[in-house]
Each structure stands twice: as structure tokens, then as C-alpha cells.
Amino acid sequence: MICKLERIEVQSRKDMEMIDITAEVERVVAESGLCNGLAMAMTTHTSSGLLVTEGVECLERDVLAHLERLAPKEPPEGAPGYWHNRYLDYDGRLGFNSGDHLKSILAGVQCVFPVENRKVVRGSRQRVYFVEFDGPLARSVVIQVLGEAK
């Protein structure tokens, strides 16, 4: 039985950005010695997400634009404001990124893939994306593998 966890750093360069981490997930699986089991990836941040979708640039733009429409950085004029965007008396910080947290909830923070015969099982067009909503920042993603050894 193998149970390994690896942390990877993802450096975003923009405020909102999709970064393909498929190769990193596959590398962790390949180096783990896992033959059959599961691979899970999770962002450790509340204003980022993980998505699985087709790896084409036009779809990346569509995803980001749609999430921004659903949870804009600032609520539209005339709409109620975000309760989080204020001084947070419980930790002394200024909350300003409620829309980014909402995007994270919509996108999700993890994905799981089966592993069979030492390979991540995914559709031919599926890619794993780390999605930045509040960058640019250095972020952490944890990748864990669990299952049978070679």
C-alpha cells in the first residue's frame, strides 16, 4: 500500500489565470510507485480553485469570464455589497476579495482521478488546471496518491 503526499508551488502571474498542472499530477503519480489507486489534487487556498476541462486557450478565457460574471470582484452598481468586504474584527485584516472566494466555491478546490497500470486515467482532452482568482501569488497545491504499489 502506498500513501504519499507532495506539495507543489504554483506561481500565478495575473489577477485571474488558469495554469495547467496536468504534467505535475502525472509526475507525482509516476514517481510514487503507485500501480493502481487514486490521485487527488487540492488547492490549499480559499481564493483559488482546481478545474478539469479541455485544454484550449479559448475555453480558458470563457471559464474565467463566466466565473467573473457569476461572482464579480465588485458587485454591480445598485446590487447589495459583499459582507466580507470590510474590516474583519476577528483577525484584524481587511476583507476585500469576496468575489474571489465565491469563484473558488463555484470552481471547487479538488479533483480526483483513478490510477490504473501506473497511469492517471483521464479523458483524452481533460487537463487539470489550478485557477487563480486573487493573484498574482505563489500558491500551494497538494497532490496525494493512494493505492497498490508496483
Q: What is the pLDDT along the chain (150 residues), one digit of tens a residue?
A: 999 999 999 999 999 999 999 999 999 999 999 999 999 999 999 999 999 999 999 999 999 999 999 999 988 888 788 887 776 777 777 678 999 999 999 999 999 999 999 999 999 999 999 999 999 999 999 999 999 997
Query: Considering only CA atoms, which of 84, 85, 13, 8 is closest in space to residue 50?
Result: 8
Q: Please report, as a single letter, which amino acid is at residue 23.
A: A
Please give the DSSP secondary-structure letter assigned to residue 16: S
- pTM for this structure? 0.93
Q: Please report, as a single letter, which amino acid is at residue 133.
A: F
